[in-house]
Structure 1
Amino acid sequence: MDENKVKKGPQESEYDDGEFMLEPVPVTARRSTKSQFMVWIGFGYAVTGLIIGGTLGGYGGTGGMPPAQAMLAVILGMGALYLITCSLGIVAQKTGLNLSLLSRFSYGYKGSVIPMAVMALLTLGWFSSILGMIGDIWGAFVGNPTGIIVFDPSQYGFTGVAPITLEVTIACLIWGIVFTYTAVRGMGAIEKVSDVFAPLILIVAVVVGVIFVVQAGGVGGFLDEASSLHGLGMGQAITAVVGSWIAGAVMGVDMFRFNKSVKAVWGCAAACFILTNPILNIVGYIGTVHIGDFNYVLWMLGVNLLVAILGVVVWTTALWTTDNSELYCNALYTGPSLNALGVRVPRKKLVIIAGSVGTILGTFAFYQLFFANFINVLGSMAPPLCAPILADYFIIGRKNKDKYNMELLNKHPNFRWAGVISFIIGAILGFVFQYKVQLPLDLPAGLVAMVISFIIYIAIYKLTPDARVDEELVAGLK
C-alpha cells in the first residue's frame, strides 16, 4: 500500500490549512506520541464519564447496580470501546486518512456523506451539550444576580428543567467563542491546552473521589452504602457506557492519523479508555451514591470560595479539549462530504459555522432538554457506523492490499452498496434492540448491531458491484 502519497486537487492547501482535510497526513507531519497522549487524556475527560458513573449509581431513577456489577459494566463497556478505537486507529495510522476520506473505501465517494452526516450531527450535539454543562456550572457558581431569565423551558411544555439565566447564557457565549477559536487554530492548539490542564484534571477527580469514600466511612462503609442498589440491567449498563463514548471512538480516527506508530495508537487509546474515563466513571458512581449527584464540582462549590474557584476552573478547562475536538472533527466530516458533492469550503470556515450553531444550541438548553435521549440513541445506532470500515480494511483489504493505494482515493464509485446497506441495517437493528425487542442474556444493543453489520458487509461484498469495481481500480494501477 502506498500510504501517504496522493495527488492534491487545485488550491488544496487553502482548504486544508495544514490540517490535511482532503489528503493523507504525511509521515513528516506526524506528531510526538507524548503530545498525542496528553490530547487523549484531555479528550478522555468528558463529563459523560461522570454521568455514566452516576447512571450506574442510580442517578436519574435508574436504580443503579451494586459496586461489583458496576465495575464489570465499566470494564466490559470501556474494553469494547478500547478495542473499537484501537482498530479504527490502526487503520487511520496506517493510511493517514481522516474518517471522511477513509469512508470512501467502504461507503463510496458520495456514499461517505451518509456516515459523515451522522457524525457531523453527533459532534455538533456533543459540542452543544458540553457547552451547556459548562454554562450550568458557571450559573451555579455566579448565581443569578441580574434576575434575568433568557429562556424558560417550562413555557414550552418542558418540566423539571431550570430556566436559563442571563449568567448561564453569557458563560455559554464566551466559552463557545473561546472553544471555536482554538479549534480554528487546529491540532497544535488542542495539544497546548491538553499539555497544561490534563494532569491537574486527573488529580482533582481522584482527590475528590477519595474524600467522598472517607466521608462515607471508608471503603467498607461506602460498599455497604452501595450494595443495596439494583434495577439497572447489565446490557443496559454496557450500552450506556458504550453510548457515552462511541462518538469519541469514531472521532479517534481524525487524531490517530497524526500518530507515528501503531504502538502509539494502543497507548493513546489506553489514556482515554483505561485511565481517564474509568476514573471518571468511578468518581461519578461514588458521588451519586454518597451525595446523590455525579458532578463533584457542585460539591466543591459548597466547600469554600477557593475550592469553588478550583472546581469551576478544572471543570471548564477539562471540557475545553473535548469541545475543541468536537469542532475540529466536525469540520473534517462536513468538509470532505461537501467536497464530494462539489462544494468546497475552507476548514476554518466550517469550524466557525459549527461553533456558532453549537453555541446557540448550547445556550438554549440543548443539554438540559435533549441529552438523555441523545446519548441513548447514540449508544444503540452509532456503533454499526464503524463496521463497514473495519470489515473492509481488515478482511477485504487484507486479501487485496492494493485496495488502499492512495492513488485510488479520488477514484471510488459514488456509492459502495455493501457499506451503505450494512450500516443502515445495523443502525435500524440497534434502535430496535434498544427500544423495541429485548435481546437474550441482556446483551448490549449497539455492540450486537455492530457485529451484525460487520458480518453483513463481508457476506454481501461480492454480491454487490463493489468487488468488481475494486478489481478494476487495482488493475488500473499496473
Structure 2
Amino acid sequence: MPARGITVSHASSEKGRRQRQAPHDSTDYAAVQGGLAPDGAAVGEIDPHDHEEFMLEPVPRLARRSWFAMFAIWVGFGYVPTGLIVGGQLAGQGGTDGMPFGEAVLAILVGEGLLLVLTFLLGFAAMKTGLNLSLISRISYGKQGMIVPMLIMALLTLGWFASIVGMVGEIFDAAVGDITGITIINDLSLEYVLFCLFWGAVFTYSAWRGITAIEKISAAAAPFVLIIAVIVAFLMVNEFGGFGNVLDEAATRDGMSQGTAVTLLIGAWIAGVIMGVDIFRYAKNPVHVFIGAAACFILTNPLLNIIGYTGSIATGDSNFIAWMAENGVLLTILGAVLWVLALWTTNMSELYCNALYVGPAAESSGFRIKRGKIVIVVGTIGTIMGAMGFYAYFFADFITVLGAAFVPLAGPILADFYIVRRAEYATADPNRMPAVRWPAIVSFVVGAIAGITFQYWLPLPFDFPAGIAALAITFVLHLLLSKALASRPEQQQVVTEGFVSPSAGAARVI
C-alpha cells in the first residue's frame, strides 16, 4: 500500500499537498547517478575517501563492485570462530545439551537458509537504492527516528569488533604461550593484551582505508582460508578414526531442540545480516547480491558449523586452531595465519559499518563528524575492550540477546521497501526526510520487547526461534500502523527535486 500523497516537511504545513523539496545542498544527484562525481569527475575516478565512503549519499552505479568482490568480501566476512562455536554447541561441547549429526545438519540448513533469505531481501534493497543502513533507515524511521536504532547497531558492531580483537589475541596467545608469566587483568596474560592492542590497531587502520582495503584483503584470503579449513577438518576426523566413529559418537548427543539450535544459528549472525546492507549497496545487480549472500550462508558459515561440530566430537574442541597448535610448529603457524586473514576481513567490516551508523546518527543530531575520526575513536575503544577480555567474559550472552531482541530492526525496512513505500525509494533524498515516522519506531520497540520476552520468560511452542517471531511481529505491526496513520503528514511520500536514485535508473531525474 504505497503512500497516497506527497508531503515535504520543509516547504509547507498544508496537509497532503503535493510539493517538491529543494535539492540537497551538497550533492548534484543527477550528475552523480548519471556518471559524474559532484565536482564533474568521472565516477570511475571517485576516491571513496574524498566522499566519506558515501556515508551520506547513495553509491553511484559506476562506483559499484564486481561479483567476485561481493563473493570474496562475504567469504571473509563470514569466516569467524562463531561458526565453529555454534557448531560445537550443537554437538554438546563441554557436556551441555547437543543433538545427533543429522539433526544438527537440519538445524544448520534451516538457520542458515533463513539468514540467506533475510540477507538477500535486505541486500536487494541496498543494491537498488545504493543506500547504507543509516540512510535507508531514515526513510522508514525518519531522520531523527533512526538515531536510536543506529546507535544500537553501533553498540553491536563495537561489541563484535572487541570480541574479534579478543579472538585474535587468544589465537596468538595459544600459539606463543605465556612466556613472561605476567598477568595484567582478569587473569589475562601480558602476551594476550599486547597481541590485542597490536591487532586492534591493524584492524582500525584497515577500516580507515575503506571498502577498497576490505575488498583487496578478502580477495587474497578467501580461497586460502576455505581450502585450509577443509583439510584440517579431514585431519581431525582421520585422527579420531574416521567419519564413521564421529557419527557413532554424535548419535549419543541429545537434549537440544531444533528451535534452540536455529535460534543459536540466527543469533550468531543476525547483526551481520543487517550490516550486509552497507556492503551490498556496492553490488551491481541481484545476481551479485545472491552470490555474496550464498558465499556466506551456503558456503562459508555452514562449512564452519559442520567443522565445529565434527571437531568438537573428534577432539573435544570446536576451534580447530587449538588442535593445530598441538600438532607441530608448522600447523601452529598455518593456523595463526589462517585466522588472522579471516578475522582481518571480518573486523574491518565491523568497524567500517560502525562508522556508517555513528556518522549519520550524529548528522541527524546536528553534528558532522568525519568518518575517519569515528573509525579511529571507536577502533581504539573496541581494542581496549578486547584487551580487557570482552570476548572471554561477555560474548555468549551477547549473541543470545542479539538473536532475540535486535532482529526486529529490519522489520520496518523490509515492510517499507517491499510493500508500504516502494515508490518513495526512487523519489526521496534520505537526507531530507520527516523527523520521525512512528510506525517504524513503535513496531521495532514492540518487536524487541517480544523477542526478549520469548527468549527469557515466555518460550514459544515447539521452541520456535524468538528472533524470527519478533521479526514477524514487527513486520506485521508496521504494516498495520502504517495503514492506520497513513493520513498523517510525515507518512506521505516524499519527492526531492533533483534527486536521482539508483533504483530509478541513471536517466531518470525528478
Residue 84 of structure 2, aligned match among 39, 50, 61: 50
Aligned to 2:102: 68
Is the CA contact 2:48–2:210 (under 8 Å) kept in the aligned structure 1? no
* Alpha carbons 1:418, 1:466 under 8 Å: kept: no
Shift of 1:462: 2.3
Residue 165 (structure 2) pairs with residue 148 (structure 1):
no
Q: Residue 332 of structure 1 aligns with which residue? A: 356
Aligned positions of 1:264-275 closer than 5 A: 264-275=288-299
- Aligned-pair CA distance for 1:381: 0.8
The size of the alignment, in residue pairs, is 462
For residue 115 of structure 2, what is the amino acid of its counterpart?
A: L
> Match of 1:411, as an amino acid?
R
Distance 1:226 1:8, change over 3 A: farther
Question: In the alignment, which of 219, 228, 234 is matched to residue 210 of structure 1?
Answer: 234
Distance 1:147 1:410, change over 3 A: same
Question: Please, which of 345, 361, 364 is the counterpart of residue 388 of structure 2?
Answer: 364
Instruction: Confirm or deny that 1:40 pairs with 2:74.
Output: yes
RMSD of aligned alpha carbons: 2.1
Deviation at 1:75, TM superposition (A): 0.5
The answer to whether the 8 Å contact 1:6/1:24 transfers is no
Match of 1:9 among 13, 26, 30: 26
Q: TM-score, normalised by structure 2?
A: 0.87
Q: Following the alignment from structure 2 to structure 1, what is the Cα–Cα distance between the partners of residues 49 and 215?
A: 22
1:159 equivalent in structure 2: none
Cα distance between partner residues in 2 of 1:467 and 1:203: 56
Could you tell me the TM-score, scaled by structure 1's length?
A: 0.93
Query: Alpha-carbon deviation of 1:405?
Result: 3.1
1:231 aligned partner, one-letter code = G
2:12 corresponding residue in structure 1: none
Separation (CA, whole Å) in 1 of partners of 2:154 and 2:487? 26
Read off the aligned partner of 1:35 and give its amino acid letter. A
- How far apart, in 2, do the equivalents of 1:146 and 1:332 lie? 40
CA distance, structure 1, for counterparts of residue 149 and residue 116 of structure 2:
21
* Distance in 2 separating the partners of 1:445 and 1:469: 32
Equivalence for 1:417? 438
User: Which entry has the higher C-alpha Rg, 1 or 2?
Assistant: 2
Deviation, structure 1 residue 368: 0.4
Say whether the 8 Å CA contact 1:40–1:272 is kept in structure 2: yes
Provide the rounded CA distance (Å) in 1 between the counterparts of 2:238 and 2:363.
56
With over 3 angstroms needed to count, the CA separation of the structure-2 counterparts of 1:264 and 1:8, relative to structure 1, is farther
1:156-211 residue CA offsets vs partner (Å, 9 max, x unmatched): xxxxxxx2111011100110010000100000001111111111111111111112
**CA drift at 1:315:** 1.2
How many angstroms apart in 2 are the aligned matches of 1:15 and 1:185?
8
Q: Separation in 1 of the partners of 2:319 and 2:437? A: 44
Q: Which residue does the alignment assign to 2:31?
A: none
Q: How far off its partner does 1:232 sit?
A: 1.1
**Distance in 1, Cα, partners of 2:194 & 2:497:** 57
Residue 102 of structure 1: aligned partner: 136
- Residue 217 of structure 1 deviates from its aligned partner by 2.5
Aligned counterpart, 2:250: 226
Residue among 115, 121, 125 paired with 2:159: 125
Match for residue 182 of structure 1?
206
TM superposition shift of 1:10: 8.1
SS of equivalent to 1:394: helix
Is 1:30 matched up with 2:64?
yes
Aligned partners of 2:352 and 2:375 also within 8 Å: yes
Structure 1: which amino acid aligns with 2:314?
Answer: H
**Which SS does the other structure have where 1:438 is aligned?**
coil
Look up the SS of the partner of 2:93 in the other structure. coil
Shift of 1:8: 5.3
Corresponding position: 1:444 with 2:465: yes
Assess if the C-alpha contact under 8 Å between 2:325 and 2:332 holds in 1: yes
The offset of 1:409, in angstroms, is 1.8
Distance 1:430 1:214, change over 3 A: same
What is the Cα deviation at residue 473 of structure 1?
Answer: 2.8
Structure 1, 206-215 or 42-51: larger mean CA deviation? 206-215
Equivalent residues of 1:16, 1:22 under 8 A apart = no
Give distance in 2, aligned partners of 1:195 and 1:252: 17
Question: How is 1:393-472 mapped onto 2 (pairs within 5 angstroms)?
Answer: 393-398=417-422, 401=423, 403-464=424-485, 468-471=489-492
Corresponding residue of 1:306: 330
Query: Is the 1:77–1:239 contact (alpha carbons within 8 Å) kept by the matching residues of 2?
Result: yes
Distance 1:449 1:134 in 2: 33
| The one of 104, 114, 131 aligned to 2:148 | 114
- 1:158 is matched with none
Displacement after TM superposition at 1:407 (Å): 4.0
Task: State the one-letter code of the partner of 1:456.
Answer: L
CA distance in 2, matches of 1:117, 1:314: 32
Partners of 1:16 and 1:252 in 2: how far apart? 23
CA distance in 1, matches of 2:51, 2:201: 20
Q: 2-side partners of 1:9 and 1:381: how far apart? A: 37
Deviation at 1:467, TM superposition (A): 5.7
In structure 2, the residue corresponding to 1:150 is in which secondary structure? strand
Q: Distance in 2 between matches of 1:139 and 1:475?
A: 55
Contact 1:107 1:415 (C-alpha < 8 Å) held by counterparts: yes
Please tell me whether the aligned partners of residues 97 and 257 of structure 1 are also in contact (alpha carbons under 8 angstroms): yes
SS of residue matched to 1:473? coil
Of stretches 107-116 and 460-469 in structure 1, the one that deviates more from structure 2 is 460-469
What is the percent sequence identity of the aligned residues?
A: 49
Q: 2:172 aligns with which of 114, 121, 138?
A: 138
Deviation at 1:33, TM superposition (A): 1.2
Contact 2:180 2:190 (8 Å CA) reproduced: yes
* Structure 1 gap ranges (5+): 153-162
Do the aligned partners of residues 475 and 20 (structure 1) sit closer, same or farther apart at CA in structure 2, a change above 3 Å counting?
closer
Closer/same/farther in 2, CA of residues 47 and 467 from structure 1, 3 Å limit: farther
Conserved? CA contact 2:164–2:391, under 8 Å: yes
Structure 1 residue 47: deviation in Å? 1.1
SS of residue paired to 2:184: strand
Helix, strand or coil for the counterpart of 1:89? Answer: helix
Q: 1:193 aligns with which of 214, 217, 230?
A: 217
Deviation at 1:411, TM superposition (A): 2.4
Deviations 1:186-245 (A, max 9, x none): 000011111111111111111111122222322222111100101111111101100111
- TM superposition shift of 1:9: 2.9
Residue 339 of structure 2 corresponds to: 315
- The alpha-carbon distance between structure 1 residues 412 and 466, as it changes in their structure 2 partners (threshold 3 A), is farther
Deviations 1:251-287 (A, max 9, x none): 1000000011011001110000000000000000011
